[in-house]
Structures are given as C-alpha cells and as structure tokens.
Amino acid sequence: MARILILYFTTDGHTGKICDRLRELIETQGHEVEVAPLSQEPVPRLEAFDRIVIGASIRYGKHSPRLYDFIHRHARILNERPSTFFSVSVSARKEKNRHAETNPYMRKFLRKVSWRPGRLAVFAGKIDYPRYKFFDRFMIRLIMWITDGPTDPQAVVDFTDWGQVEALAQQIAAQGQ
C-alpha cells in the first residue's frame, strides 16, 4: 500500500472534482490517498508520501502562477518521488489538444519547470456559463465562438472523458509496483 498525495489548483472547481474521482478509484486499489488544494497553505508535507500527483486547470491559456511557484519550491522532492501531472482545459475537448505530447499548454508547462513527472495527462474540462461572472462568461463565450464550442449562456457542458480519468487512476495505483 502506498501513501499518495493529490494536490491541485482549480479555477471553478472541476479540477477538484477530477481529483476526488482519482482518490476514490485509487483507494479501491488499497492505497491511502490524501487530496488537498494548493490554494490553501500549508499543504501536506510532500516527504510523507510515496507518490505525488498534481492537477491544474487552465484559464485564458495559462496555469496559475502559484502552480509554477509551488513546483519551483518543491522541485527536488517532486523529482525524487514517482509523480504525475495533469492539466485540465476546455481546449482538450478537441482531439489535437487531448494528448500530453500535442497539448500546447502541457508543452509550455514542461518548458517552464524543472520537474519531470513520470506520468502526464490532459483532461478536457467543463463549461458552466451560469456560474461565471459577467467578464468570464463573455470571454469564454467569445473563445468558444472562435473555436466552434458551445456559446449558449445557459449551457453547462462537461467535456471530461471520465474513462480517461479512470485509466490514469489505474496507472497511478500501479506505479512503482
């Protein structure tokens, strides 16, 4: 049994939902899993865990600057442990952006950090127009209009492939065995 830490940055809560699902699935394999948002300090001591997973959402083409700061401060321990990074964005609803090797946000992320996770994943996110403030709703609708996505201001669309989330959970649970 491994102790696994799942940390995340989320903009609207969907990345946290993905992390909770990963936890549920990994725990069924007999592992102890802790999930914590990186937005709340202090985070659990990384050294206390056998494996580390970090998930982060994209908003307006960028990961949170706080994500980069956290990784910079903890790069040594992140590189010492079996680790996974996943990114969540609505752009991953399209096939060309669905894979870590071809996703422009993942490629940019990897160029900016010294951490080299053993496993990478990209998940399509969720649009929830009714929850957004005026500016975000306007901007996201504009982006969706340009990229042929949903623009109905009442739309709530979850693009996440939950089977892909399940597959990642199985890989994390088997990592190091």
In the chain, where the domains are located = 3-125+160-174, 127-157
CB-CB contact of 4 with 171 (8 Å) = no
Task: Encode pLDDT of 3-62 as tens digits.
Answer: 999 999 998 999 999 999 999 999 999 999 999 999 887 889 999 999 999 999 998 889
Give φ, ψ of 3 to 5 degrees.
-95, 120
Q: What is the 3-state secondary structure (H, E, C) of 98-111?
A: CCCCCCHHHHHHHH
Task: Encode pLDDT of 82-133 as tens digits.
Answer: 999 999 999 999 988 999 999 999 999 999 999 999 999 999 999 999 999 9
This model's pTM is above 0.85: yes
The pLDDT score that the predictor gives to residue 177 is 44
Q: What is the mean pLDDT of residues 157-164?
A: 96
Cα torsion at 97, 101, 104, 110 (round to 10°)? 140
Structure tokens at 71: 């990784």
Class of domain 3-125+160-174: alpha beta
Distance between CA atoms of 30 and 8, rounded to whole angstroms?
22
Find the helix packing angle between 162-174 and 14-27, rounded to 10°: 50
- Which residue spans within the chain are E strands per DSSP? 3-9, 32-37, 51-57, 83-89, 119-124, 126-128, 156-158
